[in-house]
Structure 1
Amino acid sequence: MPEAVLKGRVALVTGVGRRKGIGFAIAQQLAILGADVFIHSFSPYDASQAWGADPDGVPALIATLQEHGTRIAHAEGNFLDPVVPHQIMNTAVQIFGHIDILVVNHAYSTTGNLEELTAAEIDIHLQVNVQGTLLLVQAFAAQHQGRSGGRVILLTSGQHLNPMPSELAYIASKGALHQLTLSLSAHLIPRGITVNAINPGATDTGYATAELYESVRAANPQGRWGQPEDAARLIGWLVTDDAQWVTGQVINSTGGGV
């Protein structure tokens, strides 16, 4: 694709907190394609995980994205708070004037089998991953004025392809996004907004133990893990005009594996 194919368009990408993450790869791909990009992060979440926050912080992410010559802006926000999705969208619109592309990449995720589940953990997953997503899409649609190139991309997981019994609250929330895709598409396509979901498969973002890494690598037909750039390239195409005929789809980008 030509590098400037998204010139004049503005994207909002959530969950961009680490240069190793899928969110950063998506934001970078869209900037390479010429889009101005507003990135959202919630640094305390990354800092609380085993992989940790980006060692150089969000300023390093912004500086790297700015190397591609497009405008970059950023805000922090916890989607557990139901007012934050609209606040994030409003801030982005105030800075850029409009948003053409929404990529909902953020996710709250913990492990735990059936016996370990608590109501609080279930609620947090649903509030951040489902409620936060729906309110973001609502805010996006409200500010969209029929401009060409309206795009919503959701990220799901592999719960429809392979059992994930140790991540029940997480897959319940991701399964909801999977099932929402077609109905959101039907509602928004008359306004010129396509809606698709991506399952990026097992992606090397630094969370896997050595044992898990080797197990997944050996099981994949291509003999490797997915890289953040794999999902980013697919999303980069889906938000261009070349993909205007694709909507309501859940696409598995898994290298032939699950």
Structure 2
Amino acid sequence: MSRLPNPAPEELRRDPLPLRGRTALVTGASRRGGIGHAVARRLAAYGASVCLHHHVPHDAAMPWGADRIEDVVASVRAALGDPDARVVEEPGDLADPAAPAGLLARATEALGGRLDILVANHALNGSDGPLDAIDAATLDAHWAVDTRSVLLLVQAYARQRAALPPRTPGGRVVMMTSGQDIAGGMPGEIAYALQKGALASITRSLATALAEHAVTVNTVNPGPVDTGWLTGEAYDAIAAMFPAGRWGMPDDPARLIAWLATDEAEWVTGQVIGSEGGFRR
């Protein structure tokens, strides 16, 4: 990209495949109704090759159930913008402390030996509660999945980027938070809110740590997103809290995350960015 005060006209014309030749790992992409799947489809549509991480047993234990991973892969593959790009999948229980580095290594190998974009979208759902209900096991479970595994993924990613030629372009890390520090917080999900808040708090430190490798690090708060976890009157009540009168859809934060992965966003780092559609708490 130009470093002149005024880019040349051709630089202002948006490339329809701004991620052509780039590679991405998206974690927690095991359901077609989820944010991870939407992010993967956007990255694929922009030209990237994508590895989908999944842990089907987690979703199978949730009220929404699990998809067949073959169907998820097929959906992302159908969105590919570059016929030379590819979509692969890798399973992994990220509660295992050895799993993050292993996952990143396998994804990198499957995508041709280099990983440009890391989107840490996974999280532990359920097994939580208000302050009086949580215990050490609850805190440890959420720490292991929601925070420790993300930091270990970023660590493995940073080590890999450090081995590339200096300031190789395209390095991007996007983490996910949940708006736990806004308005009333999340008093009914203390463990989850704590660990997601930790990621928001560490964003700037990680951005500084990875700046020498030309990697940006940002965290996205998607706000309430309809991923199939709520229905009925409660669903309608939350929809009314958006100026548009509707919930966020998975593709709403996916568009922001995909943009952050492009070269257009190379000057945005260390930020916690909301994609909440004006949600009024």
Q: TM-score range by the shorter chain?
A: over 0.9
Structure with the greater alpha carbon radius of gyration: 2
Task: Give the equivalent residue in structure 2 for 1:48.
Answer: 61
Residues 81-230 of structure 1 mapped to structure 2, 5 A cutoff: 81-96=96-111, 97-110=113-126, 111-144=128-161, 145=164, 146-162=167-183, 163-230=185-252
Shift of residue 147 of structure 1? Answer: 1.9
Matching of residues 22-41 of structure 1 within 5 Å: 22-41=35-54
Match of 1:74 in 2: 89
Distance in 2 (CA, whole Å) between partners of 1:166 and 1:5 is 41
Structure 1: distance between partners of 2:53 and 2:170: 21
Q: 1:3, 1:22 → 2: CA distance?
A: 22
Partner residue of 2:5? none
Q: Which moved more, 1:63-72 or 1:196-205?
A: 63-72
- Match for residue 244 of structure 1? 266
Partner Cα distance (2:71, 2:181) in 1: 36
Matched letter for residue 66 of structure 1: R
C-alpha contact (below 8 Å) 1:12/1:103 kept by paired residues: yes
| 1:9 aligns with one of 22, 37, 42 | 22
Equivalenced residue count is: 256
3-state SS, counterpart of residue 132 of structure 2: helix
TM-score of the superposed pair, with normalisation by structure 1 = 0.97
Q: Is the 8 A contact 1:16 1:41 kept in 2?
A: yes
Q: Deviations over 1:164-209 (max 9, x none)?
A: 1100000000000000101000111121000000000000000013
**Cα distance in 2 between the residues matched to 1:3 and 1:120:** 47
TM-score, normalization by structure 2: 0.89
> Higher helix fraction: Structure 1 or Structure 2?
1
Q: Which moved more, 1:140-149 or 1:11-20?
A: 140-149
Q: Which amino acid aligns with 2:256?
A: L
For residues 241 and 74 of structure 1, the distance between their equivalents in structure 2, rounded to whole angstroms, comes to 25
Counterpart secondary structure, 1:202: coil
Deviations 1:108-157 (A, max 9, x none): 12241111112111100001111000000001111112420100000000
Separation (CA, whole Å) in 2 of partners of 1:109 and 1:158:
16
| Paired amino acid for 1:18 | R
Quote how far apart the aligned CAs of 1:159 are.
Answer: 0.5
Please tell me the residue identity of whatever aligns with 2:171: G
C-alpha distance in 2, partners of 1:198/1:160? 13
- What is the CA RMSD across the aligned residues, in angstroms? 1.0
Secondary structure of the structure 2 residue equivalent to 1:114: coil
Q: Does 199-208 or 162-171 show the bigger shift?
A: 162-171
Assess if the C-alpha contact under 8 Å between 1:100 and 1:147 holds in 2: no
Q: Deviations over 1:2-60 (max 9, x none)?
A: 33110110000000010000000000000000000011010000000011112xx0001
Q: Contact conserved, 1:15 with 1:23, CA < 8 A, in 2?
A: yes
| Contact kept? 1:112, 1:166, Cα under 8 Å | yes
**In 1: Cα distance, 2:125 partner to 2:31 partner:** 16
Is residue 194–residue 244 contact of structure 1 (8 Å, CA) maintained in 2? yes
Q: Give how far 1:211 is off.
A: 2.2
Structure 1 moving runs of 4+ over 4 Å? none
3-state DSSP class of the match of 1:116? coil
Partner SS, residue 152 of structure 1: strand
CA distance in 1, matches of 2:229, 2:129: 16
